[in-house]
Amino acid sequence: MAKTDTALIRLRDPLLALGLLSRLPVPLRDTSRGARAAWAYPLAGMMIGGLAALGGLLALWLGLPPPITALIALSLMIVISGALHEDGLADSADGLWGGWTAERRLEIMKDSAVGSYGVIAICLSLAARWSALWMLYQVSPATATSALIASAMLSRAMMALVMAAVPPARSSGLSHSTGAAPWPTAALGLGIAVSFAFLLLGHGVIIATLCAGLTTLALALIARARIGGQTGDILGATQQLADIAILLSLLT
């Protein structure tokens, strides 16, 4: 393939990432790139977080208090992403803690029903992110806006790292069909996320990235031990837990 053709394909990777990670009307003509487009996950996060941040700024302009502004920004984030990652967190919580064997845990994660662990995980995730955003908006609108965009980028970069480091737990499904992200692809995504986050957070990006990385490592190790690898649900849970870790780190 000519270098020009390769460059054009890479330019379409952000659209592929946005189409996969959001409900925005993005035309997807070629999805064969799969995990090789994972470097662009942080760019999709930038769009999702940016739109949510704009909603928060509009709420502040209308005179709404920080708690309601944080709720609006969080709601927009969920609507734009189609609750994709929240669903993954719920299924992961049910599966990882609700079965005695790897096979049974994977069955539970595939089931569309949500159990007690899943409900509790979603409630705790929403409470953690809402309260963190509430406090960040109380600090300043600029702080909360930067945090929303930076956390959306960094948390999605963590997904690519898990795709590179942990093999799929199933021989079918979204994670298997997407494939394993090459390490250079995951590293590029992390570099993009950290670079933009540094512009937004300054040196705070160091602690934020460290917290997100440790949280991601812990989840990856648990998934490897309990189900033998990662799934699309595990990737969604990765984004959620990393997002929480980043937002909380910015409160210190």
Separation of alpha carbons 211 and 168, rounded Å: 24
Rg (CA), the chain: 18
Q: Is residue 32 part of a domain?
A: no
User: What is the pLDDT at residue 34?
Assistant: 73
Question: Does any domain span residue 190?
Answer: yes
Q: Is residue 162 part of a domain?
A: yes
- pLDDT of 243 > 90? The answer is yes
In a domain, residue 207? The reply is yes
Q: What's the structural domain count of the chain?
A: 1
Please indicate, yes or no, if residue 215 is contained in any of the structural domains: yes
Q: For the chain, give the percent of residues with pLDDT over 90.
A: 80
pLDDT of residue 179: 66
Percent of the chain residues topping a pLDDT of 70: 91
What is the domain range of residue 237?
39-249
- The predicted-structure confidence for 136-155, as pLDDT tens digits, reads as follows 999 999 999 999 999 999 99
**pLDDT over 70 (residue 5):** no
Chain segment 91-143, per-residue pLDDT in tens: 999 999 988 899 999 999 998 889 999 999 999 999 999 999 999 999 999 99
Phi, psi of 90 (to 5 degrees): -65, -45
Does residue 238 sit within a domain? yes
What does the alpha-carbon distance between residue 144 and residue 152 come to, in Å, rounded to a whole number?
Answer: 12
Average pLDDT over residues 197-211: 97
pLDDT confidence of residue 231:
94
Residue 9 belongs to some domain of the structure:
no
pLDDT of 74 reads: 98
pLDDT at res. 9: 55
**What residue type is assigned to position 165 of the chain?**
A
Identify whether 167 is part of a domain: yes
Q: What is the pLDDT at residue 178?
A: 62
- Single out the residue of 121, 222, 232 nearest to residue 175, CA to CA: 232
**Three-state SS at 79:** helix
pLDDT at 35: 81
pLDDT at 3 exceeding the cut of 60: no
Give the pLDDT of residue 60: 97
Q: How confident is the model at residue 175 (pLDDT cuts 50, 70, 90)?
A: low
- Kindly tell me if the per-residue pLDDT of 211 is higher than 50: yes
Q: Is the pLDDT of residue 71 over 80?
A: yes
Residue 163 has pLDDT above 70, yes or no: yes
Torsion region of 170: left, alpha or beta (phi above 0 gives left; psi -120 to 50 gives alpha): beta
Mean residue pLDDT of the chain comes to 91
Q: How far apart are CA 166 and CA 96, in angstroms?
A: 16
What is the average pLDDT across 50-68? 98
pLDDT of residue 30: 62
Quick one: CA torsion of 55, 56, 62, 64, rounded to 10 degrees?
140
